[in-house]
Copies of this chain bind each other. A is one copy, B any other.
Amino acid sequence: MRNHILLVEDDLDLGLVLKQYLQFSGFEVTWFSNPLEAVENLATLENIQLAIIDVMMPEMNGFDLSKIISERSKIPFLFLTAKVQSIDRILGLKLGADDYIAKPCEPEELLLRVKNILKREQKSELSQSVAIGKYSFLPSQYQIVFNDKTYTITEKETELLILLSQNNHKVVNRKEILEKLWGENDYFLGRSLDVFMTRLRKYFKEDERIKFDSVRGIGFKVEFPE
């Protein structure tokens, strides 16, 4: 999936160079030379992951544009500016820039900074979420998410799912599970484990590729697609 970048730059030459360079580098780019047009078209733009905005534009300055965008969508901004004083002003603003670059700017440097920002954003989003097939598992939130459905799961369900997903494609011994999660191994706790396996199977029933297999007499093996 290609990252989608919004570019708002009134210098047509620079705008074209940057757009083409970013596209060549693998990004999807929507470019407006007029910030008012950008505002008008905000509703139709999907999945913008970064906005590159020129600070000095006649119709509207880049700061005001970034505020309008911020009201709709929480995305990072990279400002293009010819004046160091503008950068100082950016820092004073509550919305804060994710980065800035002085004009005239080299496309190579812009690309590197774009990648840096996106990398930071991705790290922030994913750090608490584990993909299990078509689902997301958020251990610290005790949640499993499938499309727009969020299942809140219990502490024991969470612990068991963590242990199983850490041993994807591997058989985990029943005795081992019981001693790790329950502290001991007895008949009734084993039955309790079976109940929890049934529960987890139910949450994940909508993706057939996700399997919670029993290895009879031994334990369980999950098969979560990568």
- List 14 other contacts, CB 8 Å, given A87-B112, A91-B116: A84-B108, A84-B109, A84-B112, A88-B112, A91-B112, A91-B115, A91-B119, A96-B116, A96-B119, A97-B116, A99-B99, A99-B116, A100-B116, A102-B109
Chain B's nearest CB lies how many Å from the CB of A26?
14
Q: Using Cβ atoms and an 8 Å threshold, which residues of chain B touch A180? A: none
**Beta-carbon contacts of A113-156 to B below 8 Å, as 1s and 0s?**
00110011001000000000000000000000000000000000
Q: Using Cβ atoms and an 8 Å threshold, which residues of chain B touch A100? A: 116
Copies of this chain present in the complex amount to 2
A91 CA to B40 CA, complexed, in Å? 35
A81-101 with Cβ < 8 A to chain B: 84, 87-88, 91, 96-97, 99-100
Chain B's nearest CB lies how many Å from the CB of A158?
16
A112 CA to B99 CA, complexed, in Å? 11
Pick from B87, B88, B96, B116: contact of A120, CB under 8 Å: B96
Q: Can you spell out 18 A-B residue pairs with CB atoms less than 8 angstroms apart? A: A84-B108, A84-B109, A84-B112, A87-B112, A88-B112, A91-B112, A91-B115, A91-B116, A91-B119, A96-B116, A96-B119, A96-B120, A96-B123, A97-B116, A99-B99, A99-B116, A100-B116, A102-B109
Chain B's nearest CB lies how many Å from the CB of A126?
13
Q: Using Cβ atoms and an 8 Å threshold, which residues of chain B touch A109? A: 84, 102
A108 CA to B109 CA, complexed, in Å? 19
A119 CA to B98 CA, complexed, in Å? 10
A226 CA to B88 CA, complexed, in Å? 27
Q: Using Cβ atoms and an 8 Å threshold, which residues of chain B touch A97? A: 116
Q: Using Cβ atoms and an 8 Å threshold, which residues of chain B touch A87? A: 112
CB-CB nearest in chain B for A124: B124
A123 CA to B99 CA, complexed, in Å? 15
